[in-house]
Amino acid sequence: MSEIKNYMTPAGHAALQNELYQLVNKERPEIVQIVNWAASNGDRSENGDYLYGKRRMREIDRRIRFLTKRLQDAVVVNPETREPTDQVFFAATVTLERGNGAEQTVRIVGEDEIDAAHNKISWKSPLARALIKAREGDSVWLNTPEGREQIEILAVEYIKID
């Protein structure tokens, strides 16, 4: 196991496992079949199916190695089973008030789970780093390109993250 931990939620872990399963058991065997068929057709130098298939197989193998490493280093943190606290840690769902008065809810997730459309931010992001270890009711400072922004933590929950 490497020195750097790869924190993720159960949903994020399941998504990576599912992608790895699809690549190993569905996509790669189909590409191998196409490459073998294309190779049997003779001249490989101008055979588009063969050339594309070999390139796609390299891409799949690279992704399989990446996913295997990420899952090997995974530390799964389930927000539903952790003891209740008003302090912000990994897998927290945090409701906050931005400096401009806008209310926002963010979920602190692993690097492989980032989804801005659903307010899932990496635990390594500047916002999450500002929030980590702060408590409900605290104000924290976030350095942004526009300057320093004060953020107030309104609520901290540990609930299921899909």
Give the model confidence (pLDDT) of 29-67 as tens digits. 999 999 999 888 877 777 888 889 999 999 999 999 999
Last residue of a domain, one of 76, 108, 135: 76
Residue 109 pLDDT: 97
Question: Residue 49 is part of which domain span?
Answer: 6-76
**Least reliable range by pLDDT among 4-13, 34-43, 81-90, 118-127:** 34-43
The pLDDT mean for the chain works out to: 93
Q: How far is CA 132 from CA 113, 138, 140, 144, 159, in A?
A: 18, 11, 10, 17, 17
Same domain, 84 and 141: yes
pLDDT at residue number 99: 86
Residue 162 in domain: no
pLDDT tens column, 13-36: 999 999 999 999 999 999 999 999
Which residues have a Cβ under 8 Å from the Cβ of 28 and sit 6 or more positions away?
A: 57, 60, 61, 64
Predicted model pTM: 0.84
